[in-house]
Structure 1
Amino acid sequence: MLRALTLAFALLASTVQAGERYVSMGSSYAAGLGIAPYQDGAPTRCTRSTRNYAQQLAAKRGLTLVDVGCSGAKTSAILQPWGELPAQIDAVTADTALVTVTIGGNDIGLVGGLYGASCRKLGEANCAPATTPGEADYAALKTAMTGMVAAIRERAPKAKIVLVEYPTILPLQGACAATPLSDADADAARTKAARLSAITREAAASGGAMVITTDDFSRGHDACAAQPWMNGYPAPGAAPYHPNLAAMTAIAQALDAALP
């Protein structure tokens, strides 16, 4: 642990310079599902927004961005090919200066579980089944994320690695009209989100990476808030239970403030 912390402080002390290579990886929460327009030339199913947090940070810092985040991705898609898509980590090269990752929600059915729960609450048809990860699932996620950080470090020893948490989706208690959920389903989603944040922080600490604690600073901007950073259900023209443009901008600002 001491070695990991020492490495993290040493890497964060150096400045990320304009023009350096920046790789953004992850799921739809990194790609920017529902935030049009999408990037030309990107795989259609990845829905990579031109205004996701990586795009905004790269523009502000003058970084050379390689954006490989993809909607629906699990941690396995970081290290292994996913269908026709190469492993996201293939974008990380020895000269990469910065890597950001938002991943893990799909491994435990966080957003898919919310979709299904709201679908059932509203009496809609063909709803996704409930997802209840067990301790083995959380342990597997921790192993996968820890291995991911180690693999990134091996490919790019000098890179700053930053794990970006998922923004807060629901208020601390209950739900609202924008989030049609039973109390049990809302509590289950909060448990998943809390476990994901804890695992993200543990994985970062294990490999000398940094964490953007989005789960903390986005509280009060959940889907039920007066100024939400999260879409509710349904979300016409957007993506239910996904971050909106305000969330992406806030994350980009937090990254810019945290990086030297």
Structure 2
Amino acid sequence: MTARRLVAAVLTVLVLLSLGSLGSADEPEPTYTRYVSLGDSFTAAPYVPVNDIAYGCFRSSNNYPSRLARSLGVREHVDRSCSGARTLDLVGSQRTARGSRVPPQMEALTPETDLVTIGIGANNYRLYARLATVCRRLTTVCPLDDQRALFARILDRLRPALVSTIGEVERRAPRARVVLVGYPRLLPARGDCRRLPRMRPQDRATFRDVNKRLVEEMAAAAEQTGIEYADFYTASQGHDICSRSPWIQGRVGDGRVAAALHPLRAGQDALADLLEERLRRPPPRS
């Protein structure tokens, strides 16, 4: 009788352990069959080489969406990112730098789409052009601090535009996991370097403030709509334009490396890794 009781007790313990392990098992890794990437030049990554002119969108086959799609083994990847795109250009046609018109990026979304990344916002009301494009072309000092009030007004309008954009994405692709992808940190926390446009200390401070406020508005839009946000600004600390291992090209572009003040291959690889790590896990519970 003692031996039987001992065997029964051992079996009971084994059953309980087995049930406990079943209850604590990790959720299966998500898989994706149709991925659509939307965004501007920080998604398209012009001249990170092997470039698709795409009527002036200048998409690289080495941008983070392409690398991410390969890493995740996505069956179908549609990259509609286009240099110069604004939130309006996701739902309406866009005139590119080459004078061509490209269809709305959101036309690629379907009910079967199960993954969407969005990297957009910096071009609204010519924010990035005023902040960086104009500055790199000037031979004199770029007086950004003089435009602080204008930058603030533009950024005040960004979150509502992003919220509307995200809502339209979810309407067109209701099954999709949607991730809003932030912009990187462009300038060092302090100081200057030869790779930056000529700016006064107060202009560099304005540039940093706009960069930070831009990603804060993006994070707030993601939180408001309940989608995921990829914080590339924090991840890119130590990889600004002036760093020893930059993820952003300096004020002089290189047609075989990267456009001026735009993503480098190293930054695109890092961002793809960041997103892959997130997307291999189940989405956070709302």
- The interval holding the TM-score normalised by the smaller chain is 0.7 to 0.9
Bigger CA drift: 227-236 or 175-184? 175-184
Query: What one-letter code is carried by the residue in structure 2 that aligns with 1:74?
Result: R
CA distance in 2, matches of 1:173, 1:110: 21
Of the candidates 226, 233, 256, which is equivalent to residue 208 of structure 1?
A: 226
Q: CA deviation at 1:34?
A: 2.2
CA distance in 2, matches of 1:14, 1:47: 37
Of the candidates 193, 205, 229, which is equivalent to residue 187 of structure 1?
A: 205
Of the candidates 116, 125, 133, which is equivalent to residue 99 of structure 1?
A: 116
Query: What one-letter code is carried by the residue in structure 1 that aligns with 2:80?
Result: V
What is the total number of aligned residue pairs between the two structures? 242
Identity %: 31
The 3 A distance-change label for structure 1 pair 66 and 14 is farther
CA distance in 1, matches of 2:29, 2:169: 19
Partner residue, 1:46: 57
Partner residue, 2:268: 248
Q: CA deviation at 1:185?
A: 2.4
Q: Is 2:31 aligned against 1:17? A: yes
Bigger CA drift: 213-222 or 199-208? 199-208
Q: CA deviation at 1:243?
A: 1.0
Unaligned runs of 5+ in 2: 1-26, 96-100, 282-286
Instruction: Using structure 2 for the length normalisation, give the TM-score.
Output: 0.78
Partner residue, 2:82: 70
What's the secondary structure of 2:60's corresponding residue? Answer: coil
Give CA-to-partner distance per residue, 1:208-243, whole Å, 9 cap, x none.
211110000101000100111111111333311111
Verify the 8 A CA contact 1:74 1:105 in the aligned structure 2. yes
CA distance in 1, matches of 2:227, 2:261: 27
Verify the 8 A CA contact 1:38 1:49 in the aligned structure 2. yes
What's the secondary structure of 1:105's corresponding residue? Answer: coil
CA distance in 2, matches of 1:104, 1:14: 34
Of the candidates 169, 192, 202, which is equivalent to residue 152 of structure 1?
A: 169
Partner residue, 2:195: 178
What's the secondary structure of 2:50's corresponding residue? Answer: coil
Q: CA deviation at 1:143?
A: 1.0
Instruction: Using structure 1 for the length normalisation, give the TM-score.
Output: 0.86
Partner residue, 1:7: none
Query: What one-letter code is carried by the residue in structure 2 that aligns with 1:215?
Result: Y
What's the secondary structure of 1:77's corresponding residue? Answer: helix
CA distance in 1, matches of 2:49, 2:130: 21
Give CA-to-partner distance per residue, 1:116-171, whole Å, 9 cap, x none.
22333x349xx999865344422321111010111111111221110111111110
Give CA-to-partner distance per residue, 1:34-76, whole Å, 9 cap, x none.
212113xx62310010000000000111111100000011111
Partner residue, 1:239: 259
Of the candidates 37, 50, 73, which is equivalent to residue 37 of structure 1?
A: 50
CA distance in 1, matches of 2:213, 2:263: 19
What's the secondary structure of 2:164's corresponding residue? Answer: helix
Bigger CA drift: 164-173 or 46-55? 164-173
Q: CA deviation at 1:180?
A: 2.9
Verify the 8 A CA contact 1:106 1:112 in the aligned structure 2. no
What's the secondary structure of 1:96's corresponding residue? Answer: coil
Verify the 8 A CA contact 2:47 2:254 in the aligned structure 1. no
Structure number with bigger Rg: 2
CA RMSD of aligned residues (A): 2.2
Partner residue, 2:20: none
